[in-house]
Structure 1
Amino acid sequence: MKREDVLMEALPYIQKFHGKTIVIKIGGHAMVDPNILETVIQDAVLLRYVGMKVVLVHGGGPEITEKMKAMGKEPKFVAGLRITDQETLEIAQMVLVGKINDGIVSLIANCGARAVGLSGNDGNLLIARKMDLQKIKIGDVEHEVDLGHVGEIEEVDPRVVHCLLEQGYIPVVAPIGIDRSGKSLNINADTAAAELATALGAFKLFNLTDVDGVMNADRSRIYHRLKLHEVEAMIEDGIIVGGMIPKLLGCMKAVGSGVTSAHIVNGNKGHNLLLELFTDEGVGTMLSV
């Protein structure tokens, strides 16, 4: 396809999305590869300049683990779930808010846009409560596990994000919440992005990950367009398995609560965000009602 044809294919989408809010969750390999992250940030800045209101939410699990080991603290997991004691929470805040968030804000500035870093504590953005004991099966035995300072979101107050968007900033949100007594809690970044997209009345939610989209069990097929009822059936039938399920649950909740569509896209491939948004075929999976 000629370059001018690519631009003309994008035009109706640019017109349709102008002024709309899009929430982008950055995760996976993009969080540890600076070249991939820079490409994602370039895409986000382009979206801002073609008239979209862009909000970024980021994770940082691998960097938290790396920092803990560097400080002589061995991370503790139970059935793949991180146990967050007070020291781990402090390290998570240091990495998420002090390093990753600040680094993304700097990258956005280098690309010519303005950003403000936030955590869920700022402006009571993410009000959370300590997560209940989790029932986990180890072998044939079911255990109840306390994950520590891990929260689930009770309420989102998006006013601070709305203010920043209206002033032309790109808000960059670290997934740390605050409970009603003022204590910080670690929040799952996929959940934070989905809840924030819902509270903002976002047009689209993007989850940038390490796979090409929702795939069948043997990874031989990508489902490019899915409805909520189809995803529910595929999870029940075992077609969708593993780590894709929690990502989809957040997307499904957002779409079911009014977000027009949610997209799962491989963020490791250059400019996939733009290709998913501005081309007829797209490159990942789009979930809608």
Structure 2
Amino acid sequence: MPSSKLLIKYGGNAMINQTLKLQIAQSLYRLKNAGHEIVLVHGGGPFINKALEKANIPSEFIEGQRQTSPEAMFEIQKTLKGEVNGDLVKVFSQQGLKAVGLSGLDNQTVLVSPKKLKLTLSDGIIDEIDLGRVGQITSVDPELILSLIEKKFLPILACIAADTEGLAYNVNADDFAGEVAASIQADYYISLTDVDGLYQNYPDPTSILRNISLGDLPNLYGKIIQGGMIPKIQSLENALKKGVKNALILNGTQPEQLLAYFEKGSTIGTTITH
């Protein structure tokens, strides 16, 4: 396959397991050597949960969104940037990659505004809930990222960004990855999940949808696209609409899938195209 610009959203069990982390680093090393330009975006939900529990800060979720107090944001920033991002940079660098740890804060790459959650109440009235230090992305400046990948570095981004006043916010990792993918006009936006793709009838492996067009997606929500897959697909859909060429769902717990797809052209995962 010709060399491409890849944005990889990395999370789930593949982040917790050190062996898998090492295998992903080795796969990315091979892809980089083949000429692919790679940007990695990561979340860190399990690490954040652990840090907040240790600091005795309660976590409250509203429709899957974590309400984030200033105290929680302090712990989240420390965990994502210091622990999770730092460990990824160390592991990936040890595998020969020129890994650079970043977040949306660096060079004001990602700017946000406070995210409000809209809920429709039983009487039909729409209520807006303040999620605290949760950010809605307003703009992405890709200059720093593009400069790094041009010089053969591997940027690894934590999903933290600031508003115009410099106040730090936590950003949903899928939203963050999709907006960054669009800003760098990625050839592929790859979401590494804990499953092998999008299933017509989960977990029947013969029912994986290998190829979907952007126009097919609206009819799949609530049927095939459910639960935790909804924000992932919405992120992929948004990125495609903003100029990303291909979106791809692969299983991050099987790092060999990356090489099978990009080195051997194997028909695996779910590819979404225009």
TM-score of Structure 1 vs Structure 2, range by shorter chain: over 0.9
1:61 partner letter: G
2:166 partner letter: G
Indicate the SS of the match to 1:146.
strand
| 1:192-226 superposed Cα distances (whole Å, 9 cap, x missing partner) | 11111111111111100111111125433210110
1:101-180 correspondence to structure 2 within 5 Å? 101-135=85-119, 144-180=128-164
Question: Is contact 2:193-2:252 (8 Å) kept?
Answer: yes
1:258 partner letter: G
Question: Is contact 2:7-2:177 (8 Å) kept?
Answer: yes
* 1:222 corresponding residue in structure 2: 208
Deviation at 1:37, TM superposition (A): 1.4
Indicate the SS of the match to 1:155.
strand
* 1:46 corresponding residue in structure 2: 30
Structure 2 residue corresponding to 1:259, chosen from 236, 244, 265: 244
Deviation at 1:71, TM superposition (A): 2.0
Question: 4+ residue stretches of structure 1 with deviation over 4 A?
Answer: 140-143
* 1:232 corresponding residue in structure 2: 218
* 1:268 corresponding residue in structure 2: 253
| 1:11-56 superposed Cα distances (whole Å, 9 cap, x missing partner) | xx1xx12xx3110010110121111111112111211111111100
Gaps of 5+ in 1: 1-12
CA distance in 2, matches of 1:136, 1:222: 34
CA distance in 1, matches of 2:59, 2:267: 38
Gaps of 5+ in 2: none
Deviation at 1:274, TM superposition (A): 1.4
1:10-29 correspondence to structure 2 within 5 Å? 13=1, 16-17=2-3, 20-29=4-13
Deviation at 1:244, TM superposition (A): 0.9
Which is further off, 208-217 or 183-192? 208-217
- Do structure 1's residue 33 and structure 2's residue 9 form an aligned pair? no
2:154 partner letter: I
TM-score, normalised on structure 1? Answer: 0.89
* 1:8 corresponding residue in structure 2: none
CA distance in 2, matches of 1:173, 1:111: 18
Deviation at 1:245, TM superposition (A): 1.3
Indicate the SS of the match to 2:177.
helix
Q: How many residues align?
A: 271
Structure 1 residue corresponding to 2:166, chosen from 164, 182, 185: 182
Q: CA RMSD in A?
A: 1.8
| 1:230-284 superposed Cα distances (whole Å, 9 cap, x missing partner) | 1221126x23211111101110111122211010111001311112223334321
CA distance in 2, matches of 1:166, 1:255: 23
TM-score, normalised on structure 2? Answer: 0.93
